[in-house]
Amino acid sequence: MIRLIDYLKCINNGVAIIAGLVLLACVILILIDILLRELHISFGGSEEISGYVMAAISSWGISYALTTKAHVRIDIIRNKRQPLGRAVFDLTALCATSYVAVYAAYYVIPVFEKSFKRNSLANTSLETPLIIPQSIWMAGWLWFAVSSCLLLICALWLMYKKSYQPLNDMIGTETE
Amino acid sequence: MLPFSFFGLLGLLALSLPVGIVLFLLAFGIDSFFSPFPLMRGLGQVLWSSSNHSTLIAIPLFVLIGEILLRSGVAQKTYRALNAWVSWLPGGLIHANIATATMFSATSGSSVATAATVATVATPQAEKLGYDQRLFTGSIAAGGTLGILIPPSINLIVYGFLTESSIPKLFLAGIIPGISMALMFMIITVIICSLYPRLGGPKQHSSWKEKLFALQSLLPVLCLLFGIVGSIYLGWATPTEAAAIGVFISFLLAIIYKACSVQMLLDSLSGTIRITAMIMLVVLGAYVLNFALTAAGVGRTLQDLLESLGLSAIATLLIIIAMYIVLGFFIETLSLMVATIPIVVPIIVQLGYDKIWFGILMIILVEMALITPPVGLNLYVVNSARKNGKISDVVVGSLPYVGVMILMIILLIAYPSISLYLPTNF
């Protein structure tokens, strides 16, 4: 079970690095765009592409933020509890997160389906087929749903085993 | 519906649910209890259109600049240089904290990043030199909040984006209030430390030779500042593009300081994704909640309520400010802005106030939210940088600076030209 978490973390670390490299590529694209504009050559696609990059890195990054405990939680009351109480708070938070993740993933799919069925193109000079950026973005939300549910299963198992310290390491809060 | 949203928000936050998730849940709740038609079918579309936005890419880019600067040692050098210039004042290093925070605000778009950068560099000094922890950490938390007032600023970009106002004008409007607030922070520190010398630490005197020598350490930050702010006002780049230029310059700086390695690059990138995703979950949650609130007609209910009271413009403004101060205790900054802008700004404009002016006023209110407990991100960031000690130290230390912020708000209301002079004349 613990190994499953390690795998999950490992995958998400990889995801974060890939997302970061994509962001870097986007920076280069924007810089090229500025240079070309100063030379009076019009390219102008960087704005559209940076929108897609933003959508992709935010949907994929959310899972990484989840496994690295980055999402802001207000833990004043939680931190006053004993380990068992804290574990209950952490589990509640994770349950809510998984619920939202699954719910969002469920409603994100139709957006992609619609573009796929209608073969939608972006209303821009690049005329990007929307299914390309949307499929990457949708996959990020699906992955968020999968990772949060996997995390929840492991957390429930740790709770059953009464291993509060590993549970805290996995889904606790940072500020203590 | 208003009590439901308000108490729902506080209750779920108290349960230690992630802030972004709370906003989503509230939106779901409003959808199931108060909306005559199912709103959440549009959830996917709302998520897509709010995250597919080129303006928002400025957020990860400004975060990335901060990550690179932190890892390349620029922060340490700047701190040392400013220390040589300002630490002769009563309060010593505390002034270096404020000055470094101000300097970094001009290169960073985020208050939390600014506070984190300064805290990492400054806190080891405090223990070594025996400063009173309270005022020392408080000055970093408060100084850091300038990050969102002095341009560039992620929050001003979001404000401009939501209210359809000019982002370069908003940036101009933030300059004078930002710099005067930094000066007022220093003045209040001098006053406090003159009255109670034990709160400050030893004054440090540097010779003119040292001071002039220190100036060269300020060059990198000034380069970056000119690159980002200059490219916007020379008309080369939009604020988003300026952020990309900033990333480029900070990479160059890291290479010059021989701090650039593959590991450093990967760490900066994954750190950036982590913080961006954390911000974006909150922004997306706020958008979804906004969508639900608008569809359910909360804006109109509130507007009607305010109009039925028949108050004067200034009284309404004061009520709104009071509301921000109270909400600021509990709600995280960006969520506070995103969740309230669509409701409050139309009311403000209708009262005859300027949108750009109110943007700056709101930023100062949000800055206050960053350092008022129980929910004040900067307090936590600064406290976690020093590894030991109670959060209450930072809270107490921030109080004088909260006073300065309130004074600034009063000044802004009395003399709107403090913020509007630059945007109307340039």
pLDDT digits (tens, 9 = 90+) for A43-58: 778 888 999 999 999 9
DSSP class of residue A80 equals: G
Closest among B362, B332, B291, B44 to A137, alpha carbons compared: B44
Contact at CB, A52 and B52, closer than 8 angstroms: yes
Closest among A164, A158, A170, A155 to A86, alpha carbons compared: A164
Among candidates B14, B51, B245 on the partner chain, residue whose Cβ is nearest the Cβ of A58: B51
User: Residue B106: what pLDDT?
Assistant: 81
- Rounded distance, CA B204 to CA B208, Å? 13
> How many Å lie between the alpha carbon of A161 and the closest alpha carbon of chain B?
23
Can you give the pLDDT of all 426 residues of chain B as single tens digits?
777 877 888 788 888 898 889 989 988 998 888 877 788 888 999 999 888 888 888 889 988 988 888 788 888 888 888 988 888 888 889 999 999 999 888 877 778 778 888 888 888 888 778 888 899 999 999 999 998 898 888 888 888 878 888 888 999 999 999 999 999 999 999 999 999 888 877 777 788 888 888 888 888 888 888 888 888 888 888 888 889 999 999 999 899 888 888 999 999 999 999 988 988 888 888 788 878 877 887 767 777 877 788 888 899 899 899 989 988 887 767 778 877 887 788 888 888 999 999 999 999 999 999 898 877 878 888 887 776 777 788 999 999 999 999 999 999 999 999 999 999 887
Please, are residues B174 and B149 in contact by the beta-carbon 8 Å criterion?
yes
Q: What angle do CA B316, B144, B128 make, to 5 degrees?
A: 140
- Mutate which: B23, B25, B50, B273, vs A, most A CBs within 10 A: B273
Residues 45-64 of B with CB under 8 A from A: 45, 47-48, 51-54, 56-57, 60-61, 64
Token code pair at residue B300? 């109109």
Residue for token pair 């490992």: A10
- Rounded distance, CA A40 to CA B175, Å? 32
Model pTM? 0.85
> How many Å lie between the alpha carbon of B239 and the closest alpha carbon of chain A?
12
Contact at CB, B16 and A133, closer than 8 angstroms: no
Q: Which chain A residues are within 8 Å of B25, Cβ to Cβ?
A: 96, 99-100
Q: What angle do CA A144, A146, A151 make, to 5 degrees?
A: 95
